[in-house]
């Protein structure tokens, strides 16, 4: 059986690599029971380091909108050069308070 594919970066997710499910609409913003997508843990961390729960619910509740968000698009280009099992704390710093 093929490994599942990360919904953000499109790389395979090997069985022993860190992974998680991402609610496309945050649970706190009405997404409980809504669609989820499997991601590498590093990809999931980067989404939450980049966007607030409100931004995710309002503007980035699809994979397409996440992939074109400028910081996430740069992250996807960066992580694409890493092996599928690669993990680090986060490629970028935490989002800035607005």
Residue ranges of alpha helices (H) inside 1-98 are 41-50, 53-59, 63-68, 70-79
Percent of the chain with pLDDT over 90: 80
Q: Which residues pair with 39 in a beta bridge?
A: 20
Please tell me what DSSP assigns to residue 9: T
Q: What digits encode the pLDDT tens for the residues 44-78?
A: 999 999 999 999 999 999 999 999 999 999 999 99
Percent of the chain topping pLDDT 70: 90
Q: In angstroms, rounded to a whole number, what is the distance separating the alpha carbons of residues 9 and 7?
A: 6
pTM of the model: 0.88
Pick from 81, 74, 88, 1: which is nearest to 41 by CA?
A: 88
CB 69 within 8 A of CB 51: yes
List, for residues 73-97, the tens digit of each pLDDT value: 999 999 999 999 998 875 555 555 4
């Amino acid at each position: 059986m093929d490994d599942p594919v990360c919904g953000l970066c499109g790389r395979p997710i090997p069985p022993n690599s860190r992974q998680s499910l991402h609610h496309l609409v945050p649970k706190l913003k009405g997404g409980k029971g809504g669609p989820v997508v499997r991601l590498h843990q590093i990809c999931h961390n980067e989404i939450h380091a980049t966007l607030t729960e409100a931004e995710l619910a309002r503007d980035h509740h699809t994979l397409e909108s996440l992939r074109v968000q400028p910081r996430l698009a740069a992250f996807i280009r960066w992580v694409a050069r890493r092996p599928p099992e690669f993990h680090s704390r986060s490629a970028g710093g935490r989002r800035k308070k607005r």
